[in-house]
Amino acid sequence: MLSRYLYIPFLLGAVGCLLAAATVDSSYAVYAAPFAVGLAVVYILSPQIDWWWYKRHPLDVAAGLRHFINTTMPFYQNLTAPEKDRFRNRVAMYMEANEYMGQGMEEVPPDVKGVIAACAVQLTFGHEDYLMNKFEHIVVYPHPFPSPQYPDQWHSSEHFAEDGVIMFSAEQLMPGFVQPQRFLNIGLYEYTRVFRYCHPEVVFPEIGEAHWPVLVEISGFPKDKTIQYIGLREIDMVALAVVYFFGFGERFKALLPAEYESLAIALRLGGERRTSEMGTI
């Protein structure tokens, strides 16, 4: 990161002045002050400095993660070459910009970090704001977890706006990403909820409890199994619909054409793109 290199001249200058004050004349100590101020300014502005640098020198994901996304993610496979570059850059930037914390594990595995970032970027690919920077802390559990908001419900994902935290169970997250035809993608589910919190001005279609039968028909996922997989009794029906919009596009469009068009507009994923039962857009 550029900011780390900018520390060096200020640090060397401050140390040099202090050494001169200790070995030559104590009056040299005053000259350390501008260097100390410079260090403080770089520290305060380091996020903006690094972001400026990354915007001009785009990051890419590691080779292993690139292969993983390319072989498991139909949405990515259907992008053009320039779009794939932009997608991977956004994934790398998202991983760089956010803090990942493991609970019940020493550290969050790289593939889990990549999947979380890829879900966020897939959802927001049509929008400029893919960071949703009101939420910069991502907590990953190895399995379903309780929380202060839901102490008696072991669930697979959640967000807590007051602290800017998003939480996932890796046990449910990974199958939903790798096999979205068989398991619910809780990454897309939770990031839809986060995005709607960050952007209340974006209009999503009204989808509620009455849509359960048709959403079951679209996905083939029984209602009780879906609730069990998420782990919470209250389901965000719009977020669930977004998951099926990506995962079962053709059936979604056939059975809920108006809602499909509304979601395409909200996500800015219309135009010449077409959906398929493999979930590409």
pLDDT band at 272 (very low <50, low <70, confident <90, very high): very low
Confidence label for 61 from pLDDT (cuts 50, 70 and 90):
very high
Between CA 130 and CA 267 the distance in angstroms is 11
Alpha-carbon span 70 to 81, nearest angstrom = 12
- State the average pLDDT over residues 49-78: 82
Q: Is 128 left (phi over 0), alpha (psi -120 to 50) or beta?
A: alpha
| 102 DSSP 8-state letter | E
Average pLDDT, the chain: 88
Express as a percent the part of the chain with pLDDT over 70. Answer: 84
Q: Could you read off the pLDDT of 179-200 as tens digits, one per residue?
A: 999 999 999 999 999 999 999 9
Cα angle 233, 234, 240; round to 5: 110
Q: Find, among 239, 232, 260, 236, the residue nearest to 248 by Cα.
A: 260
pLDDT at 38: 63
**What's the Cα-to-Cα distance from 250 to each of 102, 157, 241, rounded to whole Å?**
37, 27, 13
C-alpha to C-alpha distance for 269 and 79, rounded to whole angstroms: 12
What are the extents of the domains in the chain? 2-56, 63-267
Q: What is the predicted pLDDT for the residue at 47?
A: 54
Q: Is the pLDDT of residue 271 over 50?
A: no
pLDDT in tens, 90-116: 999 999 999 999 999 989 999 999 999
CB 248 within 8 A of CB 219: yes
Burial (CB count <10 Å: 0-12, 13-18, 19+), residue 38 = middle
pLDDT for the residue numbered 71: 95
Residues, the chain, total?
281
pLDDT tens column, 215-266: 999 999 999 999 999 999 999 999 999 999 999 999 999 999 999 999 999 9
d(CA 93, CA 89): 6
3-state secondary structure 103-131: CCCCCCCHHHHHHHHHHHHHHHCCCCCCC
Whole-number Å distance between alpha carbons of 29 and 21: 5
Q: Are 120 and 191 in contact (CB under 8 A)?
A: yes
- Of 130, 126, 138, 113, nearest to 245 by C-alpha is 126
CATH of domain 63-267: 3.40.390
Q: What is the mean pLDDT of residues 117-126?
A: 98
How many angstroms separate the CA atoms of 243 and 248, rounded? 8
Q: Is the dihedral of CA 227, 156, 93, 73 positive or negative?
A: negative
Q: Is a pLDDT exceeding 90 seen at residue 145? A: yes
